[in-house]
């Protein structure tokens, strides 16, 4: 079979020397499966300075690659019957495995034009059939992207890879990511190879691998999973979309509250009545429990439901002196009824006095019980404000909380 012909138009021909060093790719060139020809536009310039770029019309920084040397390099390339020209720029379509499969199977020649980071004359675009990008980032030129493409195509050519069966199941070929691989030893640093792979039951192994491919793709690349599933059965698309949304359905919320320290009021934090050395307590319509309030605000915030003022308005006499722990029960019920589960809670109370450390564990247990959670996912911390600000001057006590919710 005649070699697959790769022609690259680049101002940095030496960049491609390393392709020969690339194991199977290098061997594919050596054994005549593919051949590569580099064309430097500079070689087509007659002037003394061999200038290939010029200032942009309309002004602006940088230089622009001129069309003439690129056209000449392009026109010097001998053509095979089935040929395709691809321009590498950050403005191109995303490169996909299906493109590599298509180029390697349907053509016998690929001409790659490497763009330059400072820019190239727009008329160069008229030479190309396709424009490709290797990702949403900008490199100094199209050389590295061209090497990515060459590597991806050459490995698909018959004879390059020893076992062509391995090309069928690899990530992206079947539309799914590849299943996990294991080799000896059967146990390594406490991690054991799944029993099924050592069972010798080929049917069981094949179905385990297929299941792993599906799970992996669903978890790691929901976008690919939707596409793959839609191909299996397009009518399933709405259901799949919903199931993928479920995987990525996390919500985070933040809450903050501060109450004034006054005399003649109880000091209740995290549902626990504390003694302030000066007999102060927190002023507010309810029991002014800043810790519970900030957690409720975070829960409501995560679901974009507003704040506690909306659910328990201070002007409503119903909530006068209310136990905030009871309000927390109501908020949790709301969260659960909306189909969400609390993953974890983290809060920090800012108070100069009294010392909160001895009560922290009790607060955690109290809150966890109220929220129907394990106390291991509820964290309460306390800090002073180093005598700074309203908390430091003991004018008040504040709290900040963060919660993470997961769609059930």
Beta-strand relationship, 280-282 and 340-350: unpaired
Binding segment (CB under 6 A) for ligand ADE, from list 7-15, 52-60, 138-146, 177-185 = 138-146
What does the angle CA 125 – CA 126 – CA 130 come to, to the nearest 5 degrees? 65
Binding segment (CB under 6 A) for ligand ADE, from list 140-148, 193-201, 231-239, 390-398 = 140-148
Rounded CA-CA distance 213/174 in Å is 10
CB nearer to ligand ADE: pick between 145 and 270: 145
CB nearer to ligand ADE: pick between 89 and 294: 89
Report residue 341 as tokens.
């589960």
DSSP 15-56: GGGGGGGSHHHHHHHHTTSEEEEEE-GGGG--STT---EEPP
CB nearer to ligand ADE: pick between 57 and 137: 137
CB of 170 to ligand ADE, least distance (A): 22
CB nearer to ligand ADE: pick between 145 and 271: 145
CB of 65 to ligand ADE, least distance (A): 12
CB 269, CB 248: distance < 8 Å = no
CB nearer to ligand ADE: pick between 143 and 289: 143
CB nearer to ligand ADE: pick between 118 and 395: 118
By CB under 6 A, what part of segment 143-172 binds ligand ADE?
Answer: 145
CB of 141 to ligand ADE, least distance (A): 6
CB of 148 to ligand ADE, least distance (A): 8
CB 212, CB 223: distance < 8 Å = no
Assign 3-state DSSP to the chain and report helix, strand, coil percentages, each to 5: 40, 25, 35
CB nearer to ligand ADE: pick between 64 and 401: 64
CB nearer to ligand ADE: pick between 93 and 192: 93
CB of 152 to ligand ADE, least distance (A): 13
CB 217, CB 240: distance < 8 Å = no
By CB under 6 A, what part of segment 108-137 binds ligand ADE?
Answer: 115, 117, 133-135, 137
Rounded CA-CA distance 378/380 in Å is 7
Tell me how crowded residue 292 is: count the other CB atoms within 10 A of its CB: 32
CB of 97 to ligand ADE, least distance (A): 16
Rounded CA-CA distance 50/41 in Å is 9
By CB under 6 A, what part of segment 36-95 binds ligand ADE?
Answer: 88-90
How many residues sit close enough to ligand ADE to count as binding (CB under 6 A)? 14
CB of 254 to ligand ADE, least distance (A): 36
Element at 272 (helix H, strand E): strand 272-274
Tell me how crowded residue 205 is: count the other CB atoms within 10 A of its CB: 16
DSSP single-letter state for residue 163: -
Taking alpha carbons only, the member of 262, 318, 258, 334 closest to residue 286 is 318
Residue of 24, 105, 138, 408 that binds ligand ADE (CB under 6 A): 138
CB of 90 to ligand ADE, least distance (A): 4
CB of 373 to ligand ADE, least distance (A): 45
Residue of 139, 214, 262, 404 that binds ligand ADE (CB under 6 A): 139
Three-class HEC string of 177-201: CCCCCCCCCCEECCEECCHHHHCCC
Taking alpha carbons only, the member of 189, 146, 150 closest to residue 24 is 150
Interface residues with ligand ADE (CB under 6 A) are: 88-90, 115, 117, 133-135, 137-139, 141-142, 145
């Amino acid at each position: 079979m005649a070699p697959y012909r790769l022609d690259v138009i680049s101002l940095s021909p030496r960049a491609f020397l390393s392709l020969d060093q690339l194991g199977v790719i290098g061997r594919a060139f050596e054994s005549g499966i593919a051949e590569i020809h580099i064309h430097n536009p500079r070689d087509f310039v007659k002037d003394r300075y061999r200038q290939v770029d010029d200032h942009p019309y309309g002004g602006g920084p940088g230089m622009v690659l001129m069309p003439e040397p690129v056209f000449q390099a392009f026109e010097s390339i001998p053509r095979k019957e089935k040929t395709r020209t691809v321009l590498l720029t950050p403005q191109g379509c995303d490169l996909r495995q299906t493109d590599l499969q298509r180029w390697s199977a349907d053509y016998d020649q690929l001409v790659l034009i490497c763009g330059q980071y400072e820019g190239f004359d727009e008329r160069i675009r008229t030479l190309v059939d396709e424009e490709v990008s290797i990702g949403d980032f900008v490199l100094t030129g199209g050389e590295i992207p061209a090497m990515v493409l060459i590597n991806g195509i050459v490995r698909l050519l018959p004879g390059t890879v020893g076992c062509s069966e391995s090309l069928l199941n690899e990530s992206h070929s079947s539309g799914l990511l590849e299943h996990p691989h294991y080799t000896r030893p059967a146990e390594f640093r406490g991690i054991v190879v799944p029993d099924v792979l050592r069972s010798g039951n080929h049917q069981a192994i094949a179905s385990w691998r297929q299941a792993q491919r599906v799970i992996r793709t669903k978890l790691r690349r929901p976008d690919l999973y939707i596409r793959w599933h839609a191909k299996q059965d397009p009518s399933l698309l709405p259901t799949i979309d919903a199931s993928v949304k479920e995987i990525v359905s996390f919500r985070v919320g933040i809450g903050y509250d501060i109450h004034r320290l006054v005399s003649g009021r109880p000091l209740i934090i995290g549902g626990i009545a504390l003694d302030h050395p000066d007999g102060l307590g927190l002023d507010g319509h309810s029991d002014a429990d800043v810790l519970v309030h900030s957690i409720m605000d975070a829960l409501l915030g995560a679901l974009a439901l507003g704040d506690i003022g909306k659910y328990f308005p201070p002007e409503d006499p119903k909530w006068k002196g209310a136990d905030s722990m009871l309000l927390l029960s109501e908020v949790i019920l709301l969260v659960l009824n909306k189909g969400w589960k609390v993953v974890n809670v983290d809060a920090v109370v800012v108070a100069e006095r009294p010392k909160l450390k001895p009560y922290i564990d009790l607060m955690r247990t109290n809150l966890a019980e109220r929220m129907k959670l394990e106390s291991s996912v509820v964290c309460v911390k306390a800090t002073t404000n180093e005598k700074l600000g309203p908390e430091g001057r003991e004018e008040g006590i504040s709290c900040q909380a963060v919660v993470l919710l997961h769609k059930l």
